[in-house]
Amino acid sequence: GRGSAGDAGLIQCPQCWGTGQVRIHKRTILGDFVSSHTCSQCEGRGEVIERPCPECRGTGRVTQKSKLRIDIPAGISSGSRLKLSQKGNAGFRGGEYGDLYVAVEVLPHEIFTRDGYDVLSEEKISISQAALGAEIEVMTLDGPERLYISPGTQTGETIKLRRKGIPHLNGHGRGNHQVRLVVETPKDLSSEEIKLLRRLAEIRRENVGDGTPDFLQKIKSVFR
């Protein structure tokens, strides 16, 4: 608090004699100059502690760690600062506490990516779902959401879920959730699945392989 040891009080600063200022006299070839500066011993206060506290050295402050719980507003972004009034350093010799500023860094998410107030995510769908359309479930900030896929969907197409993104800091409105679709080509096909796909290729008059892993080696052997 006061920065003094025991009941010791304040005395007049012996360096500035209580004025808080010291006068410096300089003599040069152009004449004598006198300038005033803040006293370094009392820092302009005019008084010093008679017997300073050995722990705080007369400042009334000691360093210590503490934990605080703070409320993070929805929609905050990296680089923002939160002000906590009177949670900063203690004032000099019992003076008012300063403010604490907390710098915010938003960590990356394993599913979602942020773009302003929009949320971006990626969802894999099968070839049959892409070709025929489907209704799937995707995860949003608010939990599971039903997503409708149109027939003939291609990889890279995006479906927008309105007002499912990041809340605006002012409390009015939200961004959107953009779901990018990726058509996943199946591997390890069963013999029945291969037959069905080959039949589809015949109907569409498409040139395809036989669906076996060594098909590429067969092609290479033809050109050797």
What pLDDT is stored for residue 93 in this prediction?
64
Strand partners, 181: 123
162: nearest Cα among 129, 195, 117: 117
End-to-end CA distance of the chain: 91
Contacts of residue 164, defined as CB under 8 A and 6 or more positions apart, other chains included, come to: 119, 140, 141, 142, 145, 174, 176, 177
Amino acid at position 46, single letter: G
Tell me the DSSP string of 17-45. TTSSEEEEEEEETTEEEEEEEE-TTTTTS
Determine the pLDDT at residue 223.
47
Q: Which segments of the chain belong to CATH 2.10.230.10?
A: 1-62
The pLDDT value given to residue 56:
72
What pLDDT does residue 96 have? 83
Domain with CATH 2.60.260.20 in the chain: 113-184
The CATH number assigned to the domain with range 113-184 reads 2.60.260.20
The Cβ of residue 184 has, within 10 Å, a number of other Cβ atoms equal to 13
Taking the chain (224 residues) in runs of 10, the rounded mean pLDDT of each run is 60 87 83 85 81 73 85 93 89 79 95 96 97 97 97 97 94 94 93 92 89 57 50
Distance from C-alpha of 37 to C-alpha of 20, rounded to nearest angstrom = 9
Q: What is the pLDDT of residue 94?
A: 66
* Fold classified for 1-62: Chaperone, DNAj Protein; Chain A (2.10.230)
